[in-house]
């Protein structure tokens, strides 16, 4: 994940756009999470939750930029690949890319090795002025909006599960004011 966020960075202008479009959603999701767990001795601050959710929209932006870049690479490489052997290699890579979310995808994964291989093919086959731009601006369209909302809600859900798992640990905790009362002072 860290490598993808570094390879496909979100600029401050893009973050401002993301925050404008999805900032209220993060705020609402953080508020809902804190409201649901108000009686659980949950110690994280509202701002911490909100910032964690804002990080998830940055991650969503980076992943979406990568997704668009790889799809454009496949389009260009299919346009320029004349050798049938390279065409078969590209088709295999494209199959791995299209089947990455299906059941059993962990056995046939489009990972970093395949991405590096695709990058080398692009450098070899496609002329420099025709190559897709890795640092292209993020387009906030309806497909991305759906994707980003799902990422925010999944982030909120995973934080909620973490709170629930830690509830048993926190239930035995006593604050300092309660400790003085319980010890008889």
Residue 48 has phi, psi (to 5 degrees) of: -65, -45
Interior angle at CA 14, CA 141 and CA 66, nearest 5: 65
Whole-model pTM?
Answer: 0.77
Examine the pLDDT at 181 and tell me if it is beyond 60. Answer: no
Please write the tens of the pLDDT for every residue from 9-66.
Answer: 999 999 999 999 999 998 998 888 887 776 655 566 778 888 888 999 999 999 999 9
DSSP state of 129: G
Provide the 3-class DSSP secondary structure of residue 60.
Answer: helix
Please write the tens of the pLDDT for every residue from 68-124.
Answer: 999 999 999 988 888 888 889 888 888 888 887 665 545 667 778 888 888 999 998
pLDDT for residue 183: 62
CA distance 33 to 14: 26
pLDDT band at 1 (very low <50, low <70, confident <90, very high): very low
CA distance 71 to 25: 28
Q: Is the sign of the CA dihedral 154, 156, 157, 163 positive or negative?
A: positive
């Amino acid at each position: 994940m860290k490598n993808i966020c570094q390879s496909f960075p979100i600029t401050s202008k893009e973050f401002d756009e993301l925050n404008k479009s999805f900032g209220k959603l993060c705020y609402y999701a953080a508020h809902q999470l804190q409201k649901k767990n108000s009686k659980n001795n949950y110690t994280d601050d509202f701002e911490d939750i909100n910032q964690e959710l804002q990080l998830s929209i940055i991650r969503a932006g980076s992943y979406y930029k990568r997704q668009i870049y790889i799809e454009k690479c496949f389009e260009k490489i299919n346009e320029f690949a004349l050798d049938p052997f390279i065409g078969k290699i590209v088709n295999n890579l494209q199959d791995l890319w299209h089947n990455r979310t299906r059941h059993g995808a962990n056995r046939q994964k489009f990972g970093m090795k395949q991405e590096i291989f695709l990058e080398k093919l692009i450098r070899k086959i496609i002329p420099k002025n025709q190559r897709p731009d890795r640092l292209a601006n993020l387009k906030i369209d309806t497909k991305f909006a759906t994707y980003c909302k799902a990422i925010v809600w999944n982030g909120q859900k995973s934080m909620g599960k973490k709170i629930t798992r830690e509830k048993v640990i926190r239930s035995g905790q006593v604050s300092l004011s309660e400790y003085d009362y319980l010890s008889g002072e």
